[in-house]
Amino acid sequence: MIRLFGLSFLELRRYRRSDLGRSAIVAVILLPLLYGTVYLIAFWNPYDNLASVPAAIVNSDKPAKLQGQTVQAGKDLKDGLVAGKSLSWNVTTDAEAEQGLETGKYYYVIKIPENFSGSIASLGSKNPKIAVLSLTTNDANSFLTSLVGDSVASQMQSQLGQTIIQQFVETTLNGISTIRSNLETAATGSAKLAGGTKTLSSGSKQVASGAKQVASGDAELASAADVARGYAQDAERRSDQLVATAAKFARANPGDELAADLLAAARRVNGVIDDVADKIIATSRKIDQLGAGAQELATGARKLSVGAAKINSGAQQLAKGLNSGVGQIPNWSPGQATNLANHVSAPVAVKQVTLNNTGTYGAGFAPYFMAMALWVALLIVFMLLEPVPGRVLLAPRMSALGVTLVGFIPVVIVTVAQVVVLLTVIHFGLDISPPLWAYGSLFVFLALVAGTYAAIIQLLGAVFGVAGRLVALVLLMLQLCSSGGTYPIQMSPVFFRTISPYLPMTYAITGIRHLLVGGQVGPVIKSVVVLMAILLIALSLSVLHVATHRKLKVIDIKPEISM
C-alpha cells in the first residue's frame, strides 16, 4: 500500500521541478473554481438585472369617459411601467416594436389595445369587459424570455391592480353606493308626493264635478228663470195689451161704468202683474248672476282639477323615474360584490404570445449547446493536430501564411465532418425540423462558426504553445456565461455584458437560433459578417506570429510537459 502511495506522489512531484509543471498543477486545481465562480457570478440572480433587458411598449389606447371623468388607462400604464423599470422600457410605434422584436433589439413587446380605457371604464357597468394586453416574445432571440415573460406579466398585472385600477374602482364603487342611497331617499319622498297629489287630484276632481253639477243645476235654474222671465214679460205684455184694450174700450164707451171698472181692474191687474213680473225678472237676473258665478266656480274648479291632475301625473312620473333609476343602479349583494371585486382586481388580462415558438426546453437550448459543442470539438481537434506544424515552420520556402494555412485547413476539414454529424443529430434528435433548404444554410453557418473557433484556438496555440489549450478552456467558460444562450445577456452582470459583443459564441448562438427556428435573416447576416471578421483577424494574427517566430526554443526540442 505504501508503495502505491509513494509511486503516486512521485507522479505528482515531477511537476514541482519545472515552472511550467508547477503552473500546470496550479491551473488544473483552480480550473473548477474558475468555471464554478464564473458561472455563478454570471447567473447569480438574473432577475435582478431585468431592468436592463430592452423592451417596447406600444400604446394604442383611446381615452374613455366614465361618469364625466376621462379615463386614460393606457397612458397611465405606460408611464407607470417606464417609471417602474421592471424592464428597460422604450415607447415605440407598432411597426418599430415588431421590427425590434424580430431582430432582437427588443426582447419583449407589450401592446395596449385601442379599447383599453374603454374596457376599464366598463367595469362598473352590467357588462364589464376585461381589458386585454398582449405580451410578445421571440424564441429566435432567446428561449428563456418566454419563461421569464411569465414573471414579467404577473409583475405588470400586480402593478396595474395596485396603482391604477384598485383605487379607481374603489372610488367608483363607493360613489355608486352613495348615489344609490340618495336616490332611494328621493324615490321614497317622491312616492309620498305622488300619493299626496293623487289625493289632491281626485279631491279636486270631485270639487270640479260638484261645481259642475252646481253650475249645471244652476244652469237649469237659470233657464227656468229665463222661461219665467219670458212668461213674466209675456204676461206684462199681455196685461199691457189688456189695459190698452180696456182703455180703448173705455174710450169707446165713455161713461160706461163697466168699461171704467174694467179699465180700473185691468190697470190694477197690470200693476200687479208688473210687480210680479218685475220681481220675477229681478229674481231671474239674480239667478243669472248666480249662474254666472256658478259658471265661474265650475270653470275654476275644472281648471283646478286639470292642474291638480297634471301635478299628479308629473309626480307619478317622477316617482316612477326615480324608482327605475334606483333599479338601474346595481344593487350588489355581498356575494356579488366580492365577485365583482375579484373581477375588478384582475381587470386586465395579459395575453402572452411567443413568436417562433421552440416548444421544449431542449429545443430552446439547442443553439447554445451546439455552439458550445463546436468549441469543445475544436479544442480536441487541436490536441491531435498541431496549431503550427513544426516541419513546415522550419521549411525555408514556406511563407508565414502558408505555414498558418497548413495548420488551419486540416482542422477545418475535420470540423466539417463534425458539423455534418451535429446536424444529423439535430435532425433526428430534436422535434424542431427546419425545412430542407434551411439545412444548407445551417451547414454553411456552422462551418463558418467552426472555422472562426479554429482560427482563434490556432492563434492561442501559436502564441501560448501548450498552455494555449488552457486559455481556450477559460475562453469557453467565459463564453458560456456571456453569449446569451440561456437568459438574455442583459440579465447578467455588467462584466459579461461588456465582453459579450467581442466573443464569437454570442454571434454563433444568435445565428443558429434564427436559422433553427426560422427567425429573421438580418441577425444571421450580422452574425456572419462579425464571425468572418473575427476569423480573418485571428488568422492574420496567427500569420503575424508565425512570421516573427520562425525560430525554435530549446524547450521545443525537449519539452517539459506534454498535454
Partner 1 sequence: MALTEQPESIGVAAGVSIRAVGLGLQTRRGPVFSNIDLTAAEGDIVCLAGPAGTGRTSLSLALCARMKFSSGELSVAGKPLPANQRWLRKISTISPGSGFGDLDDGLRVIEEIRRAYWMAGRHRRSGAAQTVAAAGLIGRERTLIRDLPASDIQRLNIACAFVDDSRLVVISDIGSGVRAADQPELWELVEFFSKATGATTVVTSIESNPARGVADQIVELADDRSLETLPGGESL
Closest to partner 1 by CB, 409 vs 552, is 552
Closest to partner 1 by CB, 126 vs 553, is 553
Among residues 427, 353, 368, 351, the alpha carbon closest in space to that of 143 is found at 368
To partner 1, the closest distance from the beta carbon of 413 in angstroms equals 16
Closest to partner 1 by CB, 363 vs 392, is 392
Closest to partner 1 by CB, 17 vs 126, is 17
Closest to partner 1 by CB, 207 vs 392, is 392
Closest to partner 1 by CB, 4 vs 557, is 557
Closest to partner 1 by CB, 521 vs 552, is 552
To partner 1, the closest distance from the beta carbon of 489 in angstroms equals 44
The string of DSSP codes covering 503-562 is SHHHHHHHHHHHHHHT--HHHHHHHHHHHHHHHHHHHHHHHHHHHH--S--HHHHS-S--
* C-beta atoms surrounding 199 within 10 Å: 11
To partner 1, the closest distance from the beta carbon of 466 in angstroms equals 14
What single letter denotes the amino acid at residue 167?
Q
Q: Is the distance from CB of 260 to CB of 249 less than 8 angstroms?
A: no
Binding residues (CB under 8 A) for partner 1: these are 17, 389-398, 550-554, 556-558
Contacts of residue 559, defined as CB under 8 A and 6 or more positions apart, other chains included, come to: 466
To partner 1, the closest distance from the beta carbon of 390 in angstroms equals 4
Closest to partner 1 by CB, 334 vs 396, is 396
Closest to partner 1 by CB, 126 vs 558, is 558
C-alpha cell at 383: 490536441
Beta strand segments in 373-464, E? none
The string of DSSP codes covering 136-193 is EEETTT-SHHHHHHHHHHHHHHHHHIIIIIHHHHHHHHHHHHHHHHHHHHHHHHHHHH
Closest to partner 1 by CB, 310 vs 391, is 391
Among residues 16, 2, 7, 19, the alpha carbon closest in space to that of 467 is found at 19
Beta strands across the sheet bearing 88-91 = 88-91, 54-59, 108-112, 131-138, 348-355
To partner 1, the closest distance from the beta carbon of 406 in angstroms equals 9
To partner 1, the closest distance from the beta carbon of 388 in angstroms equals 11
To partner 1, the closest distance from the beta carbon of 559 in angstroms equals 9
To partner 1, the closest distance from the beta carbon of 12 in angstroms equals 16
To partner 1, the closest distance from the beta carbon of 419 in angstroms equals 25
Beta bridge partners of 58: 111
Burial of 430 (0-12, 13-18, 19+ CB in 10 A): middle
Closest to partner 1 by CB, 192 vs 391, is 391
Please give the Cα distance from 212 to 298 (Å, whole number): 5
To partner 1, the closest distance from the beta carbon of 554 in angstroms equals 6
C-alpha cell at 424: 444529423
Q: Which long-range contacts (CB under 8 A, 24 or more apart) does 84-88 make?
A: 84/159, 85/51, 86/50, 86/51, 86/152, 86/155, 86/156, 86/159, 87/50, 87/51, 87/53, 87/54, 87/55, 87/152, 88/51, 88/52, 88/53, 88/54, 88/55, 88/490
To partner 1, the closest distance from the beta carbon of 513 in angstroms equals 40
